[in-house]
């Protein structure tokens, strides 16, 4: 939709929105007469006379000299001292031209928003149930994306199947039901429809329904919606949308303005025949001549007077930006405030590369004055706002005389801005292999700041090109703490650059990392004519598009801009003033600004679950590879993991694998021996560099298979997500034995290692401990029994890894026939050439298991703690555990439908 006309303005209902154009002078050579027909004839006749003269060498040389002189004068006059200088001499620059009927300022907006909270919200969870036509349908994906962007929990179901469980005890599991296609709702089978309607009515208006009318090939005129006194017309082209200012649904969205212009897609409009329906939005027909001005309802609210169920029905999807706001408001209203998004938005604008830039792109004195003037205007709309300037001191006074004066003007007004440190020489930190040199360069920038009165205590810094922040370059974090006492930074790269609205924060080495956003301007974006798509495209982003939605969906926005965006056409000033005004026109959001440290503290108060980082694989993202230390390689990461569980034979498997000439394990740890235990404990916070330090750099990356074994990975709740983020293509190996026998073996292992609780209680006492037992005994029971719930843990792994990447070993078979087990494992891992384990493994009658062959009469076996013989388990304990694990074993058999079922599992299921 073309939201606002750049040629003028239109009015409707007393509200006005105007977008102005920019006046530009023509590009003419000095002394050229303007608009003279006589001068044109003269030029033509002069040229003909020149052509008629005889051509001589002297005249050719003279012509070349003249041409060269004119070219030099041209480039000197129009390009200045650098090829990036302005090619267009203008008297005016683009100015924000958004007008709306605001009164009372930003605080008025927040006060006008409805509070949707009611007591009914306590009976439903803050979660959305979304029914889609197919898992690949476009609108369904758009709905899911919008929910993700706003951190709203949801569940997707394909319409037409059985309903999911809707209640949990006496509480509803979903606050709102959403149908991608209203017809799927209207044509549900009687049983499911009655169940759903009963759920929605359970607590009287407690759960509402949102439904969309899709565009269709069939044009309907006056068709009735099944079962409702509501009629529709489909496949209409509409324009000029307005909102119902009296609607109780409006909270995030501000009414009072008109969205002029053609609306995207074909539309359905509603004609109600009952007072239960109230229009939420109208538009008019887009017809030749525009004579039909009849308002047509495009969204209607059903107040539930007919059947006790409140609904909001949309006549089109989410392509129209205003529908996204109204959809969020509908969720808030229908969930009684459970699904309300905050109306407070924090805004910080960083200006990177102050003093860094080619001649012709840097700030001049009048640019700095314009920056200060714009800051003053924005402060009236965004309390506490200041531009945040990032400096690299080495490039101070590296411009033309006019630009150097601009540098001086910045420092003359140093107290009017906020400041943060870039790098002294704008070098990317990941290129520093020497942490000492990195610290020395930072100190140069700090000394520059002290000499020129720039504050050094902000606790905030940004790395050039986001280098070293993520993927983490440990020397950067160390130098930041040492030189600048940095406590907060920001990046666009976590977890990835795109999509921008999914960027998140994390904390590493006690430095808070905030998600950073872009406004669509980059170092080369200095003229509006050269903006990709021109002013029209930039205005689309501002007026309901990407930039506008970024602010709406992100409670905290740190925008990256560059010094060059504030010179020349001053596009950054145009962009931010325009979008802030547009936000105030169309939303009730309250924009405020605070320093970065305060912003970070608020962020992690709001999202404490994000504090823990998730380390991704740098080689899965080209941008991450470019800003990753050059002395690192992903070939140093393991290609498969042995994930446990404990007491199933993982150490034996680790030993057998280490015999293979093409396989290398990790280096041992001083604390955990052959296990690194990275993904499941505090070691994870030490970072990727720490983890990779346990692996050798392969000399032949095509043939060396690196692996690690940590038996505690199997049942760690966070482990599958963390492992998949770093090693998405790794293969997984797990060993399973009868869970009852595994629990008994673990208990005896704890006794052998002197565990006080295990020594004081029998195995039967441990496994029968109730919730009233001492806490230490309950904890021992859980640690003993929980790993044996194999189906539960494997299901978590398989939610991240495909089944074909998982190999399951029967632990009993590994003990009795390891050669065959290892041959199967080699085939799964595709190890080539295969290793002949039959020549390297031999049964040792003294130990009672297979050991490594050292010589004809000597074996190398595991330590005395392995293969220890325990007294047999009591029969009553064994029977109790078989009953305890029955449901888990049954679920495991279903889960392993694509794998060979272990013999012990068949036996355990056949006993009871």
- Please tell me whether 868 is known to bind a ligand: yes
The length of the chain in residues reads 912
Other residues' Cβ atoms within 10 Å of the Cβ of residue 441: 20
- Please tell me whether 154 is known to bind a ligand: no
Contact assessment for residue 460 and residue 597, using Cβ atoms and an 8 Å cutoff: yes
Query: Residue ranges of the alpha helices (H) in 563-614?
Result: 571-586, 596-606
Contact assessment for residue 589 and residue 345, using Cβ atoms and an 8 Å cutoff: yes
DSSP designation for 873: P
Residue with tokens 């154009």: 21
Residues 451, 363: Cα–Cα separation, whole Å? 21
> Between helices 546-553 and 534-542, what is the axis angle to 10°?
20
Task: Tell me the pairing of strands 230-236 and 221-224.
Answer: antiparallel
Residue 352: beta bridge partners? 562
- Please tell me whether 850 is known to bind a ligand: yes
Q: Is the peptide bond before 264 cis (omega within 30 degrees of 0)?
A: no
Secondary structure (H, E, C), 739-762: HHHHHHHHHHHHHHCCCHHHHHCC
Q: Is the peptide bond before 833 cis (omega within 30 degrees of 0)?
A: yes
- Please tell me whether 869 is known to bind a ligand: yes
849-855, strands of its sheet edge to edge: 841-844, 849-855, 858-860
In terms of C-beta distances under 8 Å and separation of at least 24 residues, what long-range contacts does 761-768 make, across chains too? 763/873, 763/874, 763/877, 764/874, 764/876, 764/877, 764/880, 767/743, 767/877, 767/880, 767/881, 767/884, 768/880
Helix-strand-coil percent breakdown of the chain, rounded to 5? Answer: 40, 20, 40
- Please tell me whether 460 is known to bind a ligand: no
Which parts of 601-699 are beta strand (E)? 640-644, 663-665
Is 153 a known active-site residue?
no
Q: What's the CA dihedral at 823, 829, 834, 837 to 10 degrees?
A: -40
Other residues' Cβ atoms within 10 Å of the Cβ of residue 805: 17
| CA–CA–CA angle 220, 186, 248 (5° rounding) | 90
Closest listed residue to residue 697, CA positions, set 722, 674, 673, 664? 664
Tokens at 275, concatenated: 């007072």
Residues 68, 64: Cα–Cα separation, whole Å? 6
Contact assessment for residue 659 and residue 852, using Cβ atoms and an 8 Å cutoff: yes
Task: Tell me the pairing of strands 176-179 and 171-172.
Answer: unpaired
Closest listed residue to residue 252, CA positions, set 321, 179, 178, 182? 321
Residues 785, 871: Cα–Cα separation, whole Å? 19
Closest listed residue to residue 493, CA positions, set 625, 592, 607? 625
Closest listed residue to residue 250, CA positions, set 104, 112, 142? 112
Residue 314: beta bridge partners? 212, 299
Closest listed residue to residue 769, CA positions, set 758, 2, 891? 758
Residue 481's alpha-carbon distances to 177, 293, 478, 523, 614, in angstroms, are 49, 64, 5, 29, 22
Phi/psi at 390 (5° precision): -100, 125
Q: Which of 632, 647, 709, 731 is catalytic?
A: 647
- SS3 state at 214: coil
Contact assessment for residue 454 and residue 446, using Cβ atoms and an 8 Å cutoff: no
Q: What is the largest CA-CA distance in the chain?
A: 120
Q: Which positions are catalytic?
A: 647
Q: Which residues are annotated as a binding site?
A: 745, 850, 866-870
Q: Which residues are annotated as a binding site for 3'-phosphoadenylyl sulfate?
A: 745, 850, 866-870
């Amino acid at each position: 939709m073309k939201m606002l006309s750049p040629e003028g303005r239109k009015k409707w209902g007393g509200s006005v929105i105007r977008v102005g154009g920019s006046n530009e002078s023509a590009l003419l050579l000095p002394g050229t007469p303007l608009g003279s027909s006589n001068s044109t004839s003269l030029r033509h006749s002069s040229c003909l006379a020149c052509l008629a003269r005889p051509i001589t060498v002297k005249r050719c040389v003279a012509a070349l000299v003249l041409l060269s002189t004119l070219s030099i004068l041209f480039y000197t006059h129009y390009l200045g001292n650098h090829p990036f200088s302005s090619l267009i001499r203008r008297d005016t620059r683009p100015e924000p031209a958004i007008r709306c009927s605001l009164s009372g300022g930003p605080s008025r907006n927040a006060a006008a928003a409805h509070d949707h909270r009611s007591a009914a919200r306590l009976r439903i969870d803050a979660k959305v149930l979304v029914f889609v036509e197919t898992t690949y349908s476009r609108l369904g994906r758009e709905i899911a994306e919008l929910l993700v962007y706003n951190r709203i929990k949801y569940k997707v179901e394909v319409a037409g199947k059985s309903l999911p469980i809707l209640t949990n005890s006496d509480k509803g599991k979903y606050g709102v039901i959403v149908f991608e296609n209203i017809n799927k709702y209207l044509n549900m089978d009687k049983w499911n429809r009655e169940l759903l309607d009963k759920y929605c009515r359970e607590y009287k208006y407690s759960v509402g329904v949102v439904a969309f009318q899709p565009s269709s090939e069939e044009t309907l005129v006056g068709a009735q919606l099944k079962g409702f006194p509501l009629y529709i017309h489909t496949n209409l082209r509409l324009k000029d949308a307005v909102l119902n200012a009296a609607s109780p649904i409006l909270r995030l969205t501000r009414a009072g303005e008109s969205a002029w212009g053609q609306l995207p897609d074909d539309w359905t409009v509603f004609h109600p025949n009952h007072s239960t329906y109230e229009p939420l939005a109208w538009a008019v027909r887009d017809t030749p001549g525009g004579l039909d001005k009849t308002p047509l309802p495009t969204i209607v609210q059903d107040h539930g007077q007919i059947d006790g169920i409140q609904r909001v029905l949309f006549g089109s999807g989410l392509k129209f930006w205003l529908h996204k706001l109204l959809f969020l408001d509908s969720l808030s209203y229908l969930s009684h405030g459970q699904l309300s998004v905050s109306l407070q938005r924090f805004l910080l604008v960083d200006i990177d590369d102050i003093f860094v830039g080619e001649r012709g792109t840097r700030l001049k004195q009048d640019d700095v004055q314009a920056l200060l003037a714009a800051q003053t205007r924005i402060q009236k709309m965004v309390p506490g706002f200041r531009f945040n300037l990032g400096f690299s001191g080495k490039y101070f006074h590296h411009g033309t005389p006019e630009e150097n004066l601009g540098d001086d003007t910045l420092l003359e007004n140093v107290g009017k801005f906020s400041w943060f440190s870039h790098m002294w020489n704008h070098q990317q930190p990941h290129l520093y292999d020497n942490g000492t040199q990195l610290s020395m360069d930072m100190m140069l920038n700090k000394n520059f700041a002290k000499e020129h009165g720039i504050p050094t205590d902000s606790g905030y810094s940004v790395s050039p090109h986001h280098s070293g922040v993520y993927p983490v370059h440990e020397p950067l974090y160390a130098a930041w703490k040492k030189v600048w006492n940095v406590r907060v930074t920001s990046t666009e790269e976590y977890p990835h650059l795109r999509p921008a609205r999914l960027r998140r924060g994390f904390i590493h080495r006690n430095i808070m990392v905030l998600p950073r956003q872009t406004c669509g301007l980059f170092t080369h974006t200095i003229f509006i004519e050269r903006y990709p798509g021109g002013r029209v495209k930039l205005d689309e982003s501002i007026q309901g598009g990407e930039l506008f939605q970024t602010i709406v969906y992100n409670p905290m926005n740190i925008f990256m801009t560059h010094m060059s965006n504030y010179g020349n056409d001053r596009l950054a000033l145009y962009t931010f003033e325009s979008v802030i005004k547009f936000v105030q026109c169309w939303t009730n959001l309250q924009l405020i600004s605070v320093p970065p440290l305060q912003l970070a503290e608020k962020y992690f108060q709001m999202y404490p679950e994000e504090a823990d980082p998730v380390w991704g694989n740098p080689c899965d993202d080209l941008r991450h590879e470019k800003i990753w230390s050059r002395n690192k390689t992903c070939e140093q990461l393991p290609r498969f993991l042995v994930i446990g569980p404990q007491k199933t034979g993982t150490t034996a498997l680790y030993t057998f694998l280490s015999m293979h000439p093409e396989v290398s394990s990790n280096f041992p740890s001083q604390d955990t021996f052959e296990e690194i235990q990275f993904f499941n404990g505090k070691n994870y916070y030490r970072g990727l560099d720490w983890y990779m330090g346990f692996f050798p750099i392969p000399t032949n990356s095509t043939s060396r298979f690196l692996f690690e074994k940590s038996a505690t990975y199997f049942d760690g709740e966070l482990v599958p997500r963390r492992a998949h983020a770093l090693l998405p293509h790794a293969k997984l190996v797990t060993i399973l034995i009868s869970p009852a026998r595994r629990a008994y073996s673990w208990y005896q292992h704890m006794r052998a290692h002197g565990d006080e609780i295990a020594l004081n209680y029998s195995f039967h006492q441990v496994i029968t401990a109730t919730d009233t037992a001492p806490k230490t005994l309950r904890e021992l029971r859980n640690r003993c029994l929980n790993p044996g719930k194999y189906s539960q843990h494997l299901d978590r792994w398989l939610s991240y890894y495909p089944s074909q990447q998982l190999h399951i070993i029967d632990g009993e078979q590994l003990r009795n026939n390891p050669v065959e087990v290892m041959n199967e494992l080699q085939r799964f891992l595709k190890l080539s050439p295969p290793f002949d384990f039959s020549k390297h493994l031999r049964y040792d009658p003294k130990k009672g298991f297979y050991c490594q062959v050292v010589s004809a009469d000597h074996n190398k076996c595991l330590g005395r703690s392995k293969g220890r013989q325990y007294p047999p388990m009591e029969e009553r304990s064994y029977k109790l555990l078989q009953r305890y694990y029955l449901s888990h074993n049954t679920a495991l058999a279903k889960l392993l439908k694509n794998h060979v079922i272990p013999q012990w599992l068949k036996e355990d299921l056949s006993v009871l």
